[in-house]
Amino acid sequence: MLFILKEATSQMQLEHVRETIKLMGLEHHFVQDGKRMKLWVQNSNSEQNLQIEDLDQVDYSEEINVAYPLASRQVKNENSIVKIGDIEIGGDKACVIAGPCAVESREQLNEVAKELSQFGVPIFRGGAYKPRSSPYAFQGLKEEGLEYLAEVKAKYGLKIVTEVINAESLKHVEKVADILQIGSRNMQNFDLLKEVGKSKRPILLKRGMSATIQDFLMSAEYLLAQGNNQVILCERGIRTFETATRNTLDLNAVPLLKQLTHLPVIVDPSHGTGIRELVAPMAFAGLASGAHGITVEVHCKPEEALSDGMQSLTPKQFEKMYSKFNKLEAALK
C-alpha cells in the first residue's frame, strides 16, 4: 500500500510516522516524489492500513499492484537522476560511457583511456572481472585490472564503471568504481543483487539476455529494496531466433521502460549487435528512442582484443560516432 504524506510534513512529523510503522513491524520505504514524501508499506493488512491512514501526516493512500513498486512510476513519478560527481545520468544531457570490453594490460588500458579522455568522454568502462559464457575464455585480470583502472582514473580524470560478479569482487571494485556494473549473466543473481544493493555506489544494471521487461524491473527492485536508489538500467540486446546478429537490440524497451519506471535507461549497441559496423547506427537509434545515454566498447586494436573485438570500435571510429551522436542529440532537442 502506498501512503502519500501531506506536502507540509516536517522532518519531525516524518520521524513520528517512521516510528509508528517500525512499531507495527512492517517492511517499508520512504520515497521523495517531487514535493511529496510517499510511504510504501509491504504486506500491510486492512486494519494496519486504516491505522496508518489515520495518522495526521497522511493525506491519502493508493493500492499498488505492480511487482516492482519502488521502481514504478506509481510510487515515484518524477524521473530519477543518478549523479556521479558533476555528471548526471537521467537528466537532459545524454551520457556517453566508452572503453574496452575488458582490462587486458596496463598499456592497453592507458592507450585507449588517453584517446577517449581527449575526446571528452566522461565515463570509462572496462571489465576486470569477466563472467564469460565459456570457462576457457579470458576471465579478466581481476584485482590487477582494478589497479590499472585506478591508474587511468587518476591520470585522466575519468569516472569508472566496472563489473562486479560476487560479494568478494564487490569489496575490491567499490574502492575504484564510480558505478558498479551488474552484467547480463548476473541480472537474476538475487544474492548478488542484495549485496550490491547495500552499496552506496550507483549501479548499472544490464538486462538479462533472456529477461522480460518485468524480470528486468524486478531485478532493479531488488536493488531499490536494499536502499540503493541510484540505479541505471541498460538495454543490451536479447536472444531471439535471429543469429545474423549477436543479440537483438530491443529498442522497444527504451520508451516502454521510461513509461513504467522513473529510473534512467541507457543502451548498449555493442553487445546489442555484436557487429562493429552496426554500433554507430544503433547508438543513434538508441538516442532517438529516448535513451539517457549509451555505453560503447572501444579498443585500439580490436583484432587483438581478448574479448568482444568484433563489436569494438577503434578510437577513430568512436570519435566519428561521438561527433555525430552529439549533433543528433542537439537536433532532437
Report the site for ligand PEP in 90-129 (rule: CB under 6 A): 101, 127
Does 161 engage in binding with Mn ion (CB under 5 A)? no
Which one, 31 or 233, has the nearer CB to ligand PEP?
A: 233
Which one, 84 or 102, has the nearer CB to ligand PEP?
A: 102
Which one, 101 or 225, has the nearer CB to ligand PEP?
A: 101
- How many residues bind ligand PEP (CB under 6 A)? The answer is 8
Q: Which of 101, 112, 177, 217 binds Mn ion (CB under 5 A)?
A: 101
Report the site for ligand PEP in 17-76 (rule: CB under 6 A): none
Report the site for Mn ion in 274-313 (rule: CB under 5 A): 308
Nearest-approach distance from CB 227 to Mn ion, in angstroms: 29
Q: Which of 183, 274, 286, 302 binds ligand PEP (CB under 6 A)?
A: 183
| The 3-state secondary structure of the chain, one letter per residue | CEEEECCCCCHHHHHHHHHHHHHCCCCEEEEEECCEEEEEECCCCHHHHHHHHCCCCEEEEECCCCCCHHHECCCCCCCCCEEECCEEECCCCCEEEEECCECCCHHHHHHHHHHHHHHCCCEEECECCCCCCCCCCCCCCCHHHHHHHHHHHHHHCCEEEEECCCHHHHHHHHHHCCEEEECHHHCCCHHHHHHHHCCCCCEEEECCCCCCHHHHHHHHHHHHHCCCCCEEEEECCECCCCCCCCCECCCCHHHHHHHHECCCEEECHHHHHCCHHHHHHHHHHHHHCCCCEEEEEECCCHHHCCCCHHHCECHHHHHHHHHHHHHHHHHHC
Nearest-approach distance from CB 184 to Mn ion, in angstroms: 10
Query: Which range touches ligand PEP (CB under 6 A), out of 40-48, 115-123, 172-180, 181-189?
Result: 181-189
Does 184 engage in binding with ligand PEP (CB under 6 A)? yes
Report the site for ligand PEP in 202-221 (rule: CB under 6 A): 206
Does 236 engage in binding with ligand PEP (CB under 6 A)? yes
Nearest-approach distance from CB 278 to Mn ion, in angstroms: 15
- Partner whose binding site includes residue 183, from Mn ion, ligand PEP, none (CB under 5 to 8 Å by kind): ligand PEP
Identity (one letter) of the amino acid at 17?
Answer: V
Q: What is the binding site for ligand PEP (CB under 6 A)? A: 101, 127, 183-185, 206, 236, 271
Q: What is the binding site for Mn ion (CB under 5 A)? A: 101, 308
